[in-house]
Each structure stands twice: as structure tokens, then as C-alpha cells.
Amino acid sequence: MTLFARRPQLRWLVPLIAVAVLASAGSVAATITASARDPLPARSAAQLLVDVQNARVDGLSGTVVQSASLGLPALPGPSGDQSSNLSSLVSGSHTLRVWAAGPEQARIALLGQLGESDVVRNGSDVWIWSSRDNSARHLKIPADAGHSRADTPTPGQPTTPQQAADAALRAITPTTRVSTARTAEVAGRSAYELVLTPRDAATLVGQVRIAVDGATHIPTRVQVFARGAKKPAFEVGFTSFNPSTPSSSVFRFNPPPGAKVTQGMVGGADHSPAARPQDAGTKPQLVGEGWTTVVKATLPQSTEGSTGRRSGEHADGASPLGNLDAMVQKLPAVSGAWGSGHLLRGTLFSVLVTDDGHVVAGAVAPERLYAALAAK
């Protein structure tokens, strides 16, 4: 202490050292655990795809963080970076907790600040809970509709995982370079990565990286990078992952007293809270191919009518597209030889809504959209 007595200024080093130690403690721990792991054996893209299809776990639980920096303007309506509203997933960062046990039990909880939305499936019962609205929606899955759609192979489709993997790779190879990496780390676990790089330089998408857990072969992270970007524009992945069957109490749901309970059947549009605007218009038309495909569609004449119908379908009262018109008007106005309209320019895609009711969208720069419009 005589040192501090002689040079009192040196005392300030103590809190500074504490800051340095505390700030680095997290990353040091991560490095130690990372270096302690064995490297994964090499796998080709086809092998990896087969692994993913063969992956079967009895159950899992974990936390998924989804973050998007798509360069979208702030959307009017339900906002806030940690909202538990299910329709708010388009911007900002969100945390979900997931549990699954077998094919019949699953639960997803979207965590908001002091709020939560849950989708719980337990056998043939599905509950959708919103703590914000204090409401629970009960859906029944018809006994025969369970998993026929996904599991029964239709004629002409690949029947083995190997065939399916080969077919998928054959289909995308002309437009995409496919490679694998085995150095990724997701939720503190070693993972393979399937790296898809578009061959066409005109698309805004630079790379898509899909991480596959090294031990369970379950896809654990998807990242989409804009061209030239170091950080992903869209990312969804596990931050904690536990491949063991969660307790069955997690899937038990009884609506609490006082909650608004509505009943329904599975089917219809209930599973797509973010219905795309193109759905409501005439049949969309595709221009170009591969990564630079541009979707062209016509908006319905009366936006009012369609949003009214849609919010009725959703029965959750708050249609995310209720103020579509107002939103479009806030976008920057553009014009050219093709006409005039409003442009939404994101990091991964562009959407152009013309004043005469057409909408064109694609993972391309706006110039491509103008060209697609001119080509009609």
C-alpha cells in the first residue's frame, strides 16, 4: 500500500484492470471451450444433406435468436425491438425458446419484454397464447391430417435421402456454388456449414450459410449475407441448444382463468401471420431465373377490402398489413421510363410498388426491377 500512498494516481489502475478483466472474461471462457473441442470429420455437401434428412432426435430444447438488419424503414404500428407480438418478426432482434419432444409435442415461445407469445402443440391440440392480449386460441388438428403431407412420398419424387440430396444439389448447382465448412460454432457446439454462393453477381445476396450441428445433424443456424457484407443481414440460430427430451410439463397448456379463449380448426391461413401482399393480387409472374428472379404481380384494386377480409381470417384483430397503403406512401418515390412508384430498398432485396398498382420484388438492385417492368 506504500506504493499507492506515494503515487495516489496509480489507484485508478485498479478499477481499470477490473474493467479489462470483466470485459474479457466472457470471450476468454468461449475461447477455452472452443479450443477444447475436437475438429469435425470432413463431409461433402451431399453427405451433409443426407445427414440432415436422417437426423432424428427424441427431443430438444433451446433458445433461438433471430436478428434482421434488412435495411427496412421503421414500420408503423407494433414496434419496439423486443416485442412479443408474433407479427413483429420482420425487424430488429427477437428471442424464441423452443422445445420439442417427438413429432407430436412442440412449443415455441416468443419472448418479449414482460410479455410472451406461445404456440404449443400437444398431440392434436394446438394452443396459441398471447400474454399481451391475455388470449388463447385453441386449434384442433384432425387425426388424419397429422403428418401425411410431409411424410408420404408422391410418385416421381425422390424416395431416399440420398436421392433427395442429389436432386437438390443438381437443381441449384447451375446457379449456385455449394461448399462446406466445418469450423462453425453454434450455441457452443461444433457445427458444419453448408455455404451457398450465388454465381450471378447481379443479386444482392452474397452468401447463404446454413450451420448443421456436428453431433445431431440438426440445422442450427441460417445466415444470409448481403454481397460484400461482413455481418449477416438476416440470421436465425440457436444460442443455446440441448438435444435431450424436455419434461412433458413444458407442453401442457390450459388457458388461465380470465383469458379470452377462441376455438378453431387447423387449416386455412392461420399459420401465415405474415401473408405476402402478392397473395392477394393476380397470379404473380416470374421474370429471370435463379437468384435474380424478379416477381411481378398486380395489387388488388381495393386494398381496404382485402385487408378487412384478411384481418377477419386472422382473428387476432391486429392485421400487420392493415396500413399497407400508408406504409407504401412513406417509401421514397421513384420514377423512370417504366412509370413511377415507391421503392423499398433493403440490403437483401428491393420491392417496387408502382402507382398503377403493380408490385415487383426480387433479391436484386432496383435497376433490375425497372428493367423487369419495362420488359412487360
Partner 1 sequence: MSAADLTTPVPRVAMRRPSPRFLASELRLVLRRRRNMAGLVVLAAVPIFIAVAVKSTASQPGSDAPAFFQSITENGLFVSLAALTIELGLFLPLAVAAISGDAIAGEANLGTLRYLLTVPVARLRLLGIKYAAIVIFSFLATFLIAIVGMAIGLILFGGGDVTTLSGTQISFAAGLGRVALAAVYLSLALASLGAVGLFISTLTEQPIAATIATVVFSTASFILDSIPQVHWLHPYLLTHHWMSFGDLLRAPIAWDGVVHGLYLAASYGLVFFLAAWARFAGKDVTS
- Binding site residues, partner 1, CB under 8 A: 1, 4-5, 8-9, 11-12, 14-15, 18-19, 22, 63, 81, 92-93, 97, 109, 111, 113-116, 118, 127, 129, 131-134, 136, 239-240, 250, 252-259
Spatial distance between the Cα atoms of 208 and 225, rounded to a whole number of angstroms? 6
Q: Within a 13 Å sphere around the CA of 205, how many CA atoms are in the beta-carbon half?
A: 22
Please, are residues 141 and 127 in contact by the beta-carbon 8 Å criterion? no
Q: Based on CB atoms, which residue is closest to partner 1, 20 or 374?
A: 20
Spatial distance between the Cα atoms of 48 and 211, rounded to a whole number of angstroms? 10
Spatial distance between the Cα atoms of 65 and 51, rounded to a whole number of angstroms? 24
Give the shortest CB-315-to-partner 1 separation in angstroms: 15
Type of residue numbered 48: L
Give the shortest CB-160-to-partner 1 separation in angstroms: 39
Give the shortest CB-211-to-partner 1 separation in angstroms: 20
The sign of the torsion formed by the CA atoms of 280, 282, 286, 292 equals negative
Q: Based on CB atoms, which residue is closest to partner 1, 12 or 156?
A: 12
Please, are residues 74 and 91 in contact by the beta-carbon 8 Å criterion? yes
Kindly state the DSSP code that residue 148 receives in the 8-state scheme.
H
Q: Based on CB atoms, which residue is closest to partner 1, 54 or 93?
A: 93
Q: Based on CB atoms, which residue is closest to partner 1, 1 or 36?
A: 1
Give the shortest CB-131-to-partner 1 separation in angstroms: 5
Give the shortest CB-248-to-partner 1 separation in angstroms: 12
Give the shortest CB-228-to-partner 1 separation in angstroms: 20
**Residue (of 69, 122, 100) closest to 252 by Cα position:** 122
Give the shortest CB-188-to-partner 1 separation in angstroms: 13
Give the shortest CB-88-to-partner 1 separation in angstroms: 13
Q: Based on CB atoms, which residue is closest to partner 1, 47 or 242?
A: 242
Q: Based on CB atoms, which residue is closest to partner 1, 131 or 245?
A: 131
No. of H helices and E strands in the chain?
9, 18
**Per-residue CA distances from 317 to 187, 191, 268 (Å):** 36, 41, 17
Please, are residues 365 and 227 in contact by the beta-carbon 8 Å criterion? no
Q: Based on CB atoms, which residue is closest to partner 1, 45 or 250?
A: 250
Q: Based on CB atoms, which residue is closest to partner 1, 253 or 349?
A: 253
Give the shortest CB-71-to-partner 1 separation in angstroms: 13
User: Please, what is the Cα angle at 98 between 96 and 100, to 5 degrees?
Assistant: 170
Q: Based on CB atoms, which residue is closest to partner 1, 288 or 322?
A: 322
**129-152: b (≥16 Cβ within 10 Å) or e:** bbbbbebbbbbebeeeeeeeeeee
Please, are residues 175 and 205 in contact by the beta-carbon 8 Å criterion? no
Q: Based on CB atoms, which residue is closest to partner 1, 56 or 230?
A: 230
Q: Within a 13 Å sphere around the CA of 206, how many CA atoms are in the beta-carbon half?
A: 12
**Residue (of 60, 171, 367) closest to 375 by Cα position:** 367
Please, are residues 117 and 84 in contact by the beta-carbon 8 Å criterion? yes
Kindly state the DSSP code that residue 310 receives in the 8-state scheme.
H
Give the shortest CB-324-to-partner 1 separation in angstroms: 22
Spatial distance between the Cα atoms of 282 and 342, rounded to a whole number of angstroms? 20
How many residues appear in the chain? 376
